[in-house]
Structure 1
Amino acid sequence: MNESKEIINKIKEYQQQEIELRLSNTEIKRLNDALKKAEEKSAILNSIIDSTDDGIISKNLDSIITSWNNSATRIFGYSEKEMIGASILKLIPEHLQNQESKFLEQLKKGNRIEHFQTQRLRKDGTLVDVSLAISPVYNQDGALIGLSKIVRDITKEKVAESIGQRLAAIVESSDDAIISKDFNSIITSWNEAATRIFGYTASEMIGESILKLIPTDRLEEEPKILAQLKKGIRVEHFETERLRKDGTLISVSLTISPVKDLNGNIIGLSKIARDITEKSLIEKKKNEFVSFVSHELKTPLTSLKSYLQMALLKPQDADFILKALTKAETQTKKMEHLIRDFLNVSRFEEGHITIKQTPFDIVKLVSDCIEDAAIASHKHKVVYEGTTSIIVQGDEEKITLVLTNLISNAQKYSPDGGEIKVSCALIEHKVVVSIKDNGIGISLNDQRNMFQKFFRVENEQTKFIPGFGIGLYLSSTILKLHKSKLQVESEIGKGSVFYFSLPLNE
């Protein structure tokens, strides 16, 4: 009995050992499987670390580097052998070395540092722009034992950012409107100059159709421009008209370019609009100027021809011939004045006019100009007020042109005749010459612009008065060359006073 019991116990013992052995083999297999998976995972991680474009660096709490991947070598120039066991401070510029202690403080609190942009040192001593992501490394007990750094070289991004900032600054400071739009003509960008030129703010126009700026009679321009740009053809210096917010038209010169993505696909359009209102006005004025020159020269020439023909009809009548030749001479002088003014405009524009400073008697010059003015118009009485002789310093020929223009203007803009007073007054070391009329007067607004080239006062009273707005421009320019200034005081319906000063001859 005891023997049977012993056998049964032995059998049970063997069975228990077999169960434990089977369990042990299962555990070993599980552990082996886990180890294999860990090795595979480690191999994958090592592969990722070695193939990534980012530098991946580990260091301990004493800032000693414990791992260094291939990209860290590419970014910094140091090999793994040179850096493992070395201090991380080797990569940090002296003025930035306090960053390390600050990073450690953050990480000890369990905070991860992401996308921190800074600079680091390469082996060759040059600086590299980098973005850092830093994570804490813990042991099995949860204690902080080191740091893991991912370093991204952002040199290209920084260069692109700098270029982008410069381009943005150029766009915002440009005098030209710079507008972007997609192929549905929807505006995607709008600079400050566009606001100044068109009157709309960026918030009013971004998301709106460009057709908002195009006059109804010019809407066909947009599809034609789009068709060209879709072919990659740039549109340059296309002169047209566009609408302002206030409904007025503005002359513009458009340069339109296709906008391409990194793959070269056209994704939109960039438009530069230059305000050429002033240019268009000048061109219009020039065309009118040519017509005016032709007309103004033709008028005295026709008169001159008529007087000469009349003189030839009565060769024996001395009085008749004298009258005809006197009138012919007047027309000749008018032509001379016109031609002189036209030539002077051209010379001033080219910078060929010089001033000869010589002493001359301004009173005598005024008297001569008054005599000529009396011949030109019998409707006006031109008188002189002042002393009998004043010697000044200046260019007598050019000042003659100024006086002739100012007295002639006084006559033209006093259509009902009347008295024109020319005076010379001594003030300190200068003489002030003034020409006063009782004509139609000039508004304050027109006074601000009247010395500009081609400017004329435009109203019901002036539309039949001949002239092209060059006399006052020439006079003002001549006086500027004398370091003087042509000035005006005027009131509508009460006349005007033009005056300037010249230095006395010491």
Structure 2
Amino acid sequence: MTDEVSSKDGGSEPDGLHLWSDSNRQAFLASIVESSQDAIIGKALDGTILSWNRGAERIFGYAPEEVLGRSITVLAVPGQVDDILHVLARVGRGERIEHYETSRATKDGRIINVSLTVSPIRDVSGVIVGASKIARDISDRKRTEQQNLALLEEVRRGVKGRDEFLSMLAHELRNPLAPLRNSIHLLRLRSDDPTVVERVRDMMDRQVTHMSRLINDLLDVSRITRGKITLNRERTDLGQLTRLVVDDHLEPFREAGVALNTSIPEVPIWVGGDRTRLTQVLDNLLENACKFTDPGGEVSVEVAADGPRREAVVRVRDTGIGVEPELLPRIFDVFTQADLSLDRPRGGLGLGLALVRRLVELHGGTVRAGSEGRGRGAEFLVLLPLEDEPMALTETPAGEAAPSRHVRILVVEDNRDSAESLRMLLATHGYDVRLAFNGVEGVQSAQQSHPDVIICDVGLPGMDGFAVARAIREHPDLRHVRLIAVTGYGREDDRKRALDSGFDSHLVKPADPEALLALIV
């Protein structure tokens, strides 16, 4: 007994296949068609539906009895019947259509994406009498493709915005360097002229302040984006805080020729927040309004309490250049700025509003922007959770006068220009100052001179500032020393690490001289 039998042409067939009748084979083929997950549809050349499998019922929603004998145009998307008729015409000419992607309508009115393969059906004499169509639902794939394309476009916009921003950043950071270099040259030539020295000094102070602000904005955005900002919350009268911030901006607004009006109630509006960060929010909104409002324009600041909604409201309106509609949805995004042209008369990095949104959200609030378009002004609305119970506003203590006793200070800084300029500043205020240019030298000098205050950089060669602080704290004769970190490392983690290492205070370069002097006394 063998597993194969000879066929009529001398070949062989698998065991049992020769026993199949034509009817069995037809039933087997019909079973394959019926079990397919794809729609398999037979139709006449005029489009009349002749067969309809379960896959077609699953995809299009029609039971066989609902469509057999009807025109295939029942699946046409409204207004696109010609697409189906065009396919029928091509098949009638003997063409085979493969993987044709188009749209069809389902019984419940949904529009789905399908991939079609349509083949002509011929009779025994070779005449085309109909068509068989296999339709696969590719809606999920199309949705994924569209999502990927949208994501790709978003990434492209982000990369383009980043590149434009970096170019603008280089420009903005170089700008202050030109007057600083010119000022240094002027001091060499005209140091004997008090008028020139005073003007140059004021110019240098403005440019350093401007550059510090740019760098701080960059660092703040980075810290907030990575969740590295910690809020020091306290109960704060938002109205009073706004009045203080507005007062600080009166002179810049006057110089810009822009009117600054306020509507702030005398009744306290209490919020729980970080006064420094809320001040930063208000500063950025006012600077933005002043920057983008031409001379003769007006900016109004309104503070109110929305009792029913339990929200404190700050509204800043201007009559400035406005915001174009397409920019409004992205106005608070990093790397987004309306004016990226070379002449950019307004300047800046465009980070202010990104900081505003992130800081407000950290306080549990929201910020919105509105504008009727270019040249129609803009409005920014800040909403913060309203506090229930009022409490006296914490005042920042005024700086104390320097003590009359002799104070010895050790400066540990590897940048010699930075160390020498700080020594000159402190000596001008009557302090006895010594310098050390690395960590090991700093510890040795402290052990010999027993200073009252040590001002130490963190990024020192060899022995870093953290190790210096620990060594100072471990020495029994130096435990009373006031340790102040003055460093370019300004993250919240850096500040915490400095305090954990033994520093009493942490200042970020370039440190405000007044702030540094206040820590010494």
Please confirm whether the aligned pair reaches a TM-score higher than 0.5, indicating the same fold.
no
- Max Rg structure: 1
TM range (shorter): 0.3 to 0.5
State TM-score, norm by structure 2. Answer: 0.43
State TM-score, norm by structure 1. Answer: 0.45
